[in-house]
Amino acid sequence: MDYIKAYQNWMESSVVDEETKQELAQIKSDEKEIEERFYTDLAFGTGGLRGIIGAGTNRINIYTIRKVTQGMAQYISSQGEAASRRGVVVAYDSRYKSNVFAMEAAKVLAANGIKTYVFDELRPVPALSFAVRELGCIAGIVITASHNPAKYNGYKAYWEDGGQLPPESADAVLAAINKIDIFKDVRVIAEDKAKDQGLIEIIGKEMDEKFLANVKAQSIRPEVVAEVADNFKIIYTPFHGAGNKPVRNILEMIGLKNVIVVKEQEKPDPAFSTVKSPNPEDKEGFELAIALAKKENVDLIIGTDPDCDRVGIMVRNNQEEYITMTGNQVGVLLTDYILSQQKEKGMLPDNGVIIKTIVTSEMTRAVTKHYNVEIMDVLTGFKFIGEKIKEFEENGNQKQFVFGFEESYGYLAGTHARDKDGVVAAMLIAEMAAWYKTKGMSLYEAMQALYEKYGVYLEDLMSITMEGKAGQEKIAAIMQTLRENTPKSIGDVRVTAFRDYKVGKRYEMITGSEETVDLPSSNVLYFELEDKSWFVVRPSGTEPKVKLYFSVTADTVEEAQQKMNIFKEAVTAKVQA
């Protein structure tokens, strides 16, 4: 069996260190565990790779990090000598071995003659995205597993525009990786030697200052912050991650005086010991923040995930309870705030565009229609928003990016970064809350006002985890079944149209007509219903999950919630049948 052969190869290799061999020796009698670790190589896609930390080809470790980086190095070298001279920026978050993996990547790049800039300590994803363009680099790497549990780490790859590696480049890197022997073909240089030769350079404060200056430039109403600064309080938690310093710095820079940090979650902690998962989408992680908010009588709690590209908030409702606002709700609030305030100040460009992903709230469309601003849909994944920004620039800025977001708590204002930016989002959320405070409103009340203005849209998400080889096979079977046996109705409501983004087609169920969907191919199925509700099924690109997205509309929040409960149950039954 191939996985047994691969296991023995690692045990016998002179390259593998003794600690790794000891770890592997402990599973020598567990064939199932050997299979899980060695039945495949950890998948590299447009977002890079992500996996459980440990020994094996299907795990994150110094050898898999080196192999992937060798593939990146060979692709960069194939772009010419100038590309190698431009170099690569490497950043990392607070996870187990993130700093080790970052330096291993730098040592491989340096061994291939590629100049590498490594941040002096943990930094958020948007700071890396900014640094790629600021330094004129050809590429960037972030060692992170975003908001995954502590046992995971990962590798995000970026290209010269500061956006995640585009599909064609990712395919070329993958082709290079697949030809590399993990032990024989990887070049590595000693860290000290690389530094002496000027191939590895440490960067820090100066880049931070430039990044934060660009973030601050996205502030629209600094005067409202000054108006309420003396008595306006915010609770902030970085969930033990990279947001701690930059978020606190930017909030201070815009004039906020009362930002209270959750001390237990302030410092880097790879175990994320105060939460089950460091995910700002989960209310559970905010328990310490809620207790502090009650003590300090605070209306707004902001949290960022470990690599600070996602932001979650909690607000106090009219029953004095702290509730989570979804990524869709925050995105809609920000869209309305940015468009309304830019319009009022005469800053809203005539050719402005709002960009969202296909699984993000259609309420955004109602908002943009009100302000007569164009809206664009892209596939799930912030890299597609970044690609649109690049496209606008290459087309002479005939369209101007104003704001982009995705339902999974990722937002970007400005073009200083080309990935979701938790730092600029935290700043704008705080400023927006300050603006509403001058109107005597909380963000909870602001959301209710938008429902009255635009109608009630309610979204939800369900992730079904299916780990390992068996899980991958089950996910593939679900997608195949839905394609071959497309649901005609959900409950009593007819399915009116079906989009298969893999083949780029939208099918009208009633007439049988079809049209082309002008988006890249992706394994995503989108079902439209007669009552304007919809649901989407797609495998996650970074986790062993199949994701189900749901949306309903109604006249009231209560009606929408009742409708959602019935809808989710009916859709889930169809998918898992």
Beta partners for 495?
A: 529
* Nearest one of 341, 223, 329, 325 to 283, comparing CA atoms: 325
In a domain, 220, yes or no: no
317 with 336, same domain: the answer is no
Is residue 268 domain-shared with residue 377, that is, in the same domain?
no
Mean pLDDT score of the chain: 95
Q: Is the domain of 51 the same as that of 13?
A: no
Burial class (CB in 10 A: 0-12, 13-18, 19+), 179: exposed
Count CB atoms within 10 A of the CB of residue 199. 20
CA 488 from centre of chain: 33
pLDDT tens-digit map of 231-267: 999 999 999 999 999 999 999 999 999 999 999 999 9
Q: How many CB atoms lie within 10 A of CB 303?
A: 32
The confidence band for 470, taking pLDDT boundaries of 50, 70 and 90, is confident
- The tokens for 350 are 């005539």
Domain assignment present for residue 292? The answer is yes
What are the pLDDT digits (tens) for 31-71? 999 999 999 999 887 678 999 999 999 999 999 999 999 99
The C-alpha atoms of residue 311 and residue 92 are separated, in whole angstroms, by: 18
CA pair distance 396, 310, nearest whole angstrom:
30
How far apart are the C-alpha atoms of 274 and 286, rounded to whole Å? 10
| 135 Cβ neighbours under 8 A, 6+ residues apart | 87, 89, 117
Residue 471 is predicted with a pLDDT of 83
The percent of residues in the chain predicted with pLDDT above 70, rounded, is 99
Per-residue pLDDT tens over the stretch 193-214 = 999 999 999 999 999 999 999 9
Counting beta carbons within 10 angstroms of the beta carbon of residue 18, is it exposed (0 to 12), middle (13 to 18) or buried (19 or more)?
Answer: exposed
Tell whether 569 is covered by a domain: yes
CB 337 within 8 A of CB 439: no
Over the stretch 363-395, which tens digit does the pLDDT of each residue have?
999 999 999 999 999 998 899 999 999 999 999
Catalytic residue among 84, 146, 361, 551: 146
Q: Quick: pLDDT tens for 271-313.
A: 999 998 899 999 999 999 999 999 999 989 999 999 999 999 9
Q: Are residues 126 and 163 in the same domain?
A: yes
Please state the length of the chain: 577
Task: Give a yes or no: residue 116 inside a domain.
Answer: yes
C-alpha 383/C-alpha 374 separation (Å) is: 20
Number of H helices, E strands in the chain: 20, 23
Give pLDDT, residue 407. Answer: 96
Does the active-site annotation cover 146? Answer: yes
Question: 531 with 430: CB under 8 angstroms?
Answer: no
Q: What is the dihedral of CA 243, 244, 250, 254, to 10 degrees?
A: 130
* Strand-pair partners of 539: 546
Q: Answer yes or no: do 133 and 83 share one domain.
A: yes
Nearest to 126 by CA among 322, 397, 309: 309
Over its C-alpha atoms, the chain yields an Rg (Å, rounded) of 24
Strands across the sheet with 88-92, in order? 49-52, 152-159, 139-143, 88-92, 116-119, 200-203
Task: Specify whether 67 is located in the same domain as 171.
Answer: yes
Q: pLDDT tens across 106-155, in order?
A: 999 999 999 999 999 999 999 999 999 999 999 999 999 998 899 999 99
**What per-residue confidence (pLDDT) applies to 544?**
80
What's at 179, amino acid-wise? K
Interacting residues of 565 by C-beta distance below 8 A, sequence separation 6+: none
pLDDT confidence band for 1 (50 / 70 / 90): low
- Using CA atoms of 102, 159, 541, 241 in order, give the dihedral in degrees to the nearest 10: 40
pLDDT given at position 166: 86
The torsion angles phi and psi of 317, rounded to 5 degrees, stand at: -90, -175
Residue 87 belongs to a domain with what CATH number? 3.40.120.10
Residue 145 lies inside a defined structural domain of this protein: yes
Q: How far is CA 402 from CA 80, 228, 368, in A?
A: 35, 26, 11
| Nearest by Cα to 549 from 457, 476, 474 | 457
Q: Are 536 and 525 spatial neighbours (Cβ–Cβ below 8 Å)?
A: yes
24 pLDDT exceeds 80?
yes
131 within some domain: yes
What residues have CB less than 8 Å from 447, skipping those under 6 apart?
Answer: 325, 329, 332, 333
Q: Of 67, 62, 72, whose CA–CA distance to 99 is shortest?
A: 62
Same domain, 198 and 51: yes
Q: By three-state DSSP, how is residue 374 classified?
A: strand
Q: 391-437 pLDDT, tens per residue?
A: 999 999 999 999 999 999 999 999 999 999 999 999 999 999 999 99
| 469: pLDDT strictly greater than 70 | yes
The residues, any chain, with a CB within 8 Å of residue 194's CB and separated by 6 or more, are 106, 107, 110, 111, 116, 200
Q: Is residue 223 part of a domain?
A: no
Q: Partners of 457 in the beta sheet?
A: 553
Q: What are phi and psi of 56, to 5 degrees?
A: 130, 160
Q: Does 217 reside within a domain?
A: no
Could you tell me the sign of the dihedral formed by the alpha carbons of 511, 515, 521, 524, in that order? negative
Looking at the structure, do residues 55 and 148 belong to the same domain, yes or no? yes
Is 393 found in the same domain as 363? yes
If asked whether residues 52 and 199 sit together in one domain, one would say: yes
Which pLDDT does position 542 carry in this prediction?
65
Same domain for 482 and 354: no
Residues 197 and 90 reside in one and the same domain: yes
**Dist. CA 176–CA 117, nearest whole Å:** 23
Is the Cβ–Cβ distance between 250 and 423 less than 8 Å?
yes
Q: How many domains does the chain have?
A: 5
Give residue 363's domain range.
326-420
